[in-house]
Chains A and B, each alone.
Chain A
Amino acid sequence: DQQVKQNSPSLSVQEGRISILNCDYTNSMFDYFLWYKKYPAEGPTFLISISSIKDKNEDGRFTVFLNKSAKHLSLHIVPSQPGDSAVYFCAASALGGSEKLVFGKGTKLTVNP
């Protein structure tokens, strides 16, 4: 059963516009969420995280929003750049769940020049 779902396998946006990547989760025990970015033939790299005590966290062009009641989070990239083209993974961990991260399947973002 997929506890972390990224329902859009791919997303294409124009350079300079906003990219919005979505993630839904089913486990109400999840209280910490992370986004990772992955380029081809490389491992995922950490991008940004958010704790369930917050509803927004910002780091430069990247902002993550958390809607706990909807069990939904989103990653906004503004403005999008061609170098942002990658696969983005949403991940979550649960209080009391040791250090096990549960990942979504990823969304492939393509930013067109």
Chain B
Amino acid sequence: DTAVSQTPKYLVTQMGNDKSIKCEQNLGHDTMYWYKQDSKKFLKIMFSYNNKELIINETVPNRFSPKSPDKAHLNLHINSLELGDSAVYFCASSQGGRNSPLHFGNGTRLTVT
């Protein structure tokens, strides 16, 4: 019983396509996140939702749009994919609050060709 699960695990697609990554958590957490790990290995926050409301929106291109249908799900839709979008995307959840540890999914490796 995976706590934070994201699908797909691997995603290979061509430039210009639109793709989605899904994330679900069964921990009962109120807050969910999307992080991106780029080729330089930095983990950087992209978005954070608390109870379906957007609370953090870092400097991310408008082509990236998170959607939270309920507090257990946070999906990431990416339009017009570019080569530079290739990265590993991690979904995470927490109980909320600055000092609550994040629980991460196993990541989605996106490769744009």
A100 to B57, CA, bound (A): 10
- A43-B94 contact, Cβ under 8 Å, with A98-B56, A100-B56, A103-B44: no
Asked if A101 CB lies within 8 Å of chain B CBs, one says yes
Asked if A72 CB lies within 8 Å of chain B CBs, one says no
Q: Which single residue of chain A is at the shortest CB-CB distance from B31?
A: A99
Q: A-B contact count, CB below 8 Å?
A: 60
**Which residues does chain A contribute within 8 Å of B45, judged by CB atoms?**
100-101
- A103-B102 contact, Cβ under 8 Å, with A43-B92, A43-B107, A98-B56: no
Write 26 A-B pairs (CB below 8 A) sorted by A numbering: A2-B42, A32-B98, A32-B99, A36-B104, A43-B4, A43-B92, A43-B105, A43-B106, A43-B107, A44-B90, A44-B104, A51-B99, A89-B43, A97-B98, A98-B55, A99-B55, A99-B94, A99-B96, A99-B98, A101-B45, A103-B42, A103-B43, A103-B44, A105-B41, A105-B42, A106-B41
